[in-house]
Every structure is written in structure tokens, then in C-alpha cells.
Chains A and B, each alone.
Chain A
């Protein structure tokens, strides 16, 4: 039974349901549960729900330790950039311990963080930095684009026996959508084909999925059938679904809010170059953020980011169509 929930509501529902289901799930981080009125604290108690000091290294390191000791912590990190303070724990500890011990331990934990807050937050709180985590062996990375995916991917992340970066997009926070009630899981490594089409494949993540779908609508009016694929998790990456789509369409446009060389798009482009070259009838086009730090002022911020117009222009280019008149 599905009903409408905002993206943030779906995330909270998923966390609450998983905490109710499994007493090993913990939830801690900065500025959560600071009063007894907090619903998580009220329902699950001060053992499992705790506010922490501003100490990311300790928060994430303690999550690693609690995971080694049999718990399944979810760390509220608010902003993905705050993980940069604790990169050793994220990159060099959590995902390596199982491997270095020859499989003797598991480290099931979720690093929950928002990203992409391009709404005037300037340079240090707006990045789309998931690309730097997708190449870390042992780490998984989920990028939900819809409320339903936010619920299903978070539940899967919490039940996964590996460290998972669950990156929710800040600009989607209040976005409504149909969300199944009760238990709802989305397997990792399974892309969603958001829209079918035979002329071009558009792969997009997070906030860019909506932009890609809007671009596809405009292209449909011109008679262009765009297939929009949302990988949903970039580690593991469902290369197969992308290659199958490209085999059908012969053209690929990658849309990614990250900077060009820090994006998931760059990795997908390489995979398609190796595994789908024979299908391609045009060069792959990447529509990413420009290589700059996000500026404060709105016109400059917008200039750097991918948008509908840039996606449409890229699609027209790979199809060899004349550039559309400016709207």
C-alpha cells in the first residue's frame, strides 16, 4: 500500500522501522535527540539513540567499534563534507577491516549524510562528493532519487553487512512521492529505468534524475525517445542495465552533479567505453558540474550546475540534431 510521503519522511520512516525491527540498530550523531521529546529517543531510549559532540572521527570510529562488537550503527552526519574531517575512518578503516583480518570481522554501519545543497551554501557545504567513495573497495554508496528509493535503500543499507554511505540529496528533502508502507527493501546494484526510450540513454543520479526526466519530456515533444536510467547505488554499480540500454539506443549522455573528474559519470563512461563500444553510434557526452568550487551567488551557482537545457543540448548533440533555439 503506497501513499505520499516527502523524501525526508521516507528516510525517517525507514530508520524507525529498522530500529523497531532490529534492536542492534543504533542511531547517533550531532544535534539529534537533544530533548526527551525527540521521537527516536522516546521510542528507542538513550542507549540506542545519542547525541554526540562535534567529533566526526570519534563518531565514525565508534560506529566501526560498535559494528565490530555486533551492533549496526547509523551515524547522522548531516552533510557529506563533514565526513572529510574523518576520512581515515571512512576510507582506511571501516571498509578495510574485514579484508585485512581475512574475513574474521564484519563492519555493518551506515554513514547517513546529505549532499548537493546548492541553495546558497557556498563552497564547503554543497559538494557532490560521492565519487571519491565509489572506488573504495569494501564501501557501498547509495544515492536515492525518490522518496520510495530513500526508504528502500536505507533499509537495505542498514541490513547490509558492509559499511554503506547513504547520501540523500538536500534539494529533494521535501519532494513528495508514493512510498510503500511497511517493510520495503531495494536491492543494491539494481538500476531503475525511470523512463523507456529507444534513441538515447541518459544516466543520472540523485537530483539530476528529475532534471533528466524533464529533459526527456521536452525531447519527446521533438520526437526523441530518451531512456532515463538511475543507478540508485554507484557502488555496487549496475553496469549491466546501462550497457543493455546503450545496446538498444547506441547513444549515451551522463548527467552528474559532481565535478567532471570526481563524478560517477567518469566511471560509467569508462565502463561503457570498454563494454559497450561496439554499440555506440556517437561519442559519450558527460553533463557534469563545471570544475569549480560552488559559489555563493545564485547566477554563478546555476552556471556551474547541470540543468535541463544542458541535458537537452547534449542529447541533441549525440543525435546529430541542430541545436535548439534558446528558450
Chain B
């Protein structure tokens, strides 16, 4: 089992916090996925899970301060959990309830919690990148040392929005860190089928070269390694030295999303694309063996940071918390139909 590269100055409490958040994200996503079979029809539309990305998400957010800001993609369940958004209101949003984080207006793809620095998501690939860049422009004008973290996937790095944004961010030396979560798949297309760098056997981080900014590639399964690189990028940004592109290599452990189906067809999560589309179960099994959650547990238990019993307690607490979130969401009322015309205009 792969270890972590040192502790990057993170103390024991922080390492345990990181592991705890990873477990919470995993458990939340497990409950979302299980909802499709345990409570058919409760989740509508299209839901995207972050299992496999936990180390990358938590390692990145561990490098931010409370005053910092972030924007993400529609695969957005992990970040607010780490920031302190209650799992209850997140699950209620995904279940379309009045008590949901966004009152049932947004659903799974649009979790937003501005009070905790999470300014929003875009459901359209790559389109949140210029918005996060604009938040960084605002931070630069304000001049109070805020940094913005912008999360997106490998597919988004082929959008014009990505390239236009990185150019301006570098030109203006904006305080932003671009975290490219490379999970190797653009929906059901492999990166080497649609990315010139990937096809050439190069890391996607080389895209930074075109915009005269640093680009680094990191093992996204190791939260300490992610923390180290993102913290360095945050320090550069805070010092006024401009943006960094951090390519975090992860493996999405669920399919891109639940099946896309017309009403009447029960929704479910298919097998991962490696299995379902490409007939490569060995690839998926290898990824499962590198699962970042048990990997981090192994590191913390083997170096004595956590006893097995303490690690079990963390998992038990997350399980109870997310079971409560499901109960809360199921008990919660739906919005009033006529509320559908609220919030169209400010």
C-alpha cells in the first residue's frame, strides 16, 4: 500500500481531521448512491459522486483559510461537507426538499454555501472557471489577501473558458489556484482520446506552460501530497505572484453519474466506464486497491497516529451522521409548488 510523503508540516490533529473529512465524504456519497436502490424515485435527474476524489478535495481545502473562496463543478458534494455545511441540508437538497441547502431550487449539481466561502458551481463543463477567475479579480481589487480555489475536471481543460481564464489570471497575476482533478475520463471518453497532452503521454499540467504559470502534477490519492502542492500554490497566490495549475490525478470510483433515462425508467448507478464501456475490469480493480480512504487509514494506523479502534470510531460516526442526514431529508417537506416563481429576480 502506498504511503504519504511525510506530513508537510501537518500536525496529528490536522491529519486526523483530514482523514475524518475523507470518510465523511465517502459515507455521504455512499448514502446518495444507496438512495437509488433504497428509496427509488427520491433523487431525480443527474447526480455525480466524488468517491475516489476525497484525498484531493480534503488536501486542497486544508490549504485554504476561512476567508478564502472556492467554486467547483457539478460534482460538488465533497467540498461543502469539509467546509462545515451540515450534511442534513445537503442531503435534503439532493432529495428536493424545502429544507435543502438551496431550498430545492438547485439539487445535486448546484450546492452553494456562500457564507462558508463556497460561491457556487456550474452544471456546464468548464464554465465555472471564468467565474472563479472573476472572484479572484475581486479579491485582488479588495487587496485583503483572499485566495480563490477553482476546481474542475480534465474534460473542462479543453473548453475555451479554461484557456481564456488561465491567460487572464496569469496576465493579471490573480490570486487563484486552478485544481484540475484529472480522473482520466471525460464522461465515457478516456483522456487520451480527447486530450493532446494525454495522447502524447504528457501530464495535463503542461497546459500551464502556454500561460506562463507554474503547473504541477500530484498524486491525488494522497491528501498530504495534495495539501503540499496546493498550499505552495496558495502561498504564491497570496503573495501576489499569480496563479498555479495543479493537476491532481485521481480515479473516480463510481460511474460519471447515474444513468440518463426518461421518466418511468428507474435510475441507478451503472458500473464504472472502465468496466461497462471499455471492458477493462482490471483497471478498475487496480484503482479500487489504491482507494484513497483505506490508504489514508492504513498510513495513520501504521504510523500510530490512529489506533484501529479510533479509525473505526471515525467511520462509525460518519455512518451515523449520514444516516441522520438521510432521515432528515426523507422527513423534510417538499417546497410549495408556487415557490417556483421565487428568486427569478433579486
Contacts and interface: CB of A to CB of B under 8 A. Distances in A.
Nearest to A56: B164
A60 B124 CA distance: 15
A49 B34 CA distance: 51
Contact of A65 (B114, B124, B138, B171): B138
Contact of B136 (A59, A65, A99, A162): A65
Interface stretch (A66-74, A202-210, A216-224, A252-260): A66-74
Contacts of A48: 141
Nearest to A63: B134
Interface string A112-155: 00000000000000000000000001101000000000000000
Contacts of B119: 65, 68-69, 105
Contacts of A162: 345-346
A73 B110 CA distance: 23
Contacts of B139: 69
Interface in A90-108: 92-93, 97-106, 108
B343 A58 contact: no
Contact of B122 (A93, A104, A137): A93
Contacts of B161: 57-58, 61
Contacts of B113: 104
B46 to A, nearest CB: 14
Q: Which of A50, A59, A100 has the most CB of B within 10 A?
A: A100
A52 B133 CA distance: 13
Contacts of B104: 102
A65 B134 CA distance: 4
B114 A105 contact: yes
A138 B344 contact: yes
B105 interface: yes
B134 A103 contact: no
B182 interface: no
A104 B110 CA distance: 12
B114 A61 contact: no
Contacts of A100: 102, 105-106, 110, 112
Contacts of B129: 61
B130 A57 contact: yes
Contact of A103 (B71, B140, B342): B342
B165 interface: yes
B55 interface: no
Given A53-B168, A55-B164, A62 B137 contact: yes
Q: Which of B135, B136, B141 has the most CB of A within 10 A?
A: B141
A50 B171 CA distance: 12
A233 interface: no
A294 interface: no
B130 A89 contact: yes
Contact of A93 (B103, B124, B344, B345): B124
Nearest to A47: B141
Interface string B174-192: 0000000000000000000
Contacts of B106: 100-102
A103 B112 contact: no
A93 B129 CA distance: 12
Interface in B96-116: 100-106, 110, 112-114
Nearest to B103: A102
Q: Can you list the 10 inter-chain pairs with the closest CB atoms, starting with the nearest?
A: A65-B134, A61-B130, A62-B134, A102-B103, A69-B138, A58-B164, A161-B346, A55-B164, A102-B102, A65-B131
Interface of B: 69, 71, 100-106, 110, 112-114, 119-120, 122, 124, 127, 129-142, 160-161, 164-165, 167-168, 171-172, 342-346
6 contacts: A55-B168, A58-B167, A67-B134, A69-B135, A101-B114, A104-B113
